[in-house]
């Protein structure tokens, strides 16, 4: 399989974001997966990871809302059947 440079760039950027959040890349068969960090609230590390993931979720959601507010007219509407 041949990958385009743009696809590789997007994957590297996405991979970096997930690794920053504590996800770990794992190979299963011929494919790659991301393993969730420990989120057990009974451990200190789990509580830290949960807080980090919650903050990322809030910030990414806020970014998407702002992006849609500014550039919403450029995004095509989904086709509803």
Q: Is residue 54 one of the residues assigned to a domain?
A: yes
Per the prediction, the chain carries an average pLDDT of 85
Contact 16, 25 (CB under 8 A): no
Q: Is residue 12 one of the residues assigned to a domain?
A: yes
Residue 69 CA to residue 60 CA, distance in Å, equals 14
Q: Is residue 81 one of the residues assigned to a domain?
A: no
How many domains does the chain fold into?
2
Q: How confident is the model at residue 52 (pLDDT cuts 50, 70, 90)?
A: very high
The whole domain housing 25 covers: 1-36
Residue 40 CA to residue 33 CA, distance in Å, equals 21
Q: How confident is the model at residue 72 (pLDDT cuts 50, 70, 90)?
A: confident
Q: How confident is the model at residue 74 (pLDDT cuts 50, 70, 90)?
A: confident
pLDDT value of residue 47: 96
Same domain (yes/no): 1, 16: yes
Checking if the pLDDT of 3 tops 70, the result is no
Residue 14 CA to residue 22 CA, distance in Å, equals 13
Same domain (yes/no): 12, 28: yes
Number of neighbouring beta carbons within 10 Å of residue 42? 6
Residue 24 CA to residue 18 CA, distance in Å, equals 8
């Amino acid at each position: 399989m041949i990958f385009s440079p743009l696809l590789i760039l997007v994957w590297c950027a996405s991979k970096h974001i997930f690794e920053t959040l504590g996800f770990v890349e794992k190979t299963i068969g011929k494919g790659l997966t991301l393993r969730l960090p420990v989120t057990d609230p009974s451990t200190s590390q789990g509580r830290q990871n949960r807080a980090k993931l919650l903050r990322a979720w809030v910030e990414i959601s806020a970014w998407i809302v702002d992006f849609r507010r500014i550039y919403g007219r450029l995004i095509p509407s989904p086709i509803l059947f």
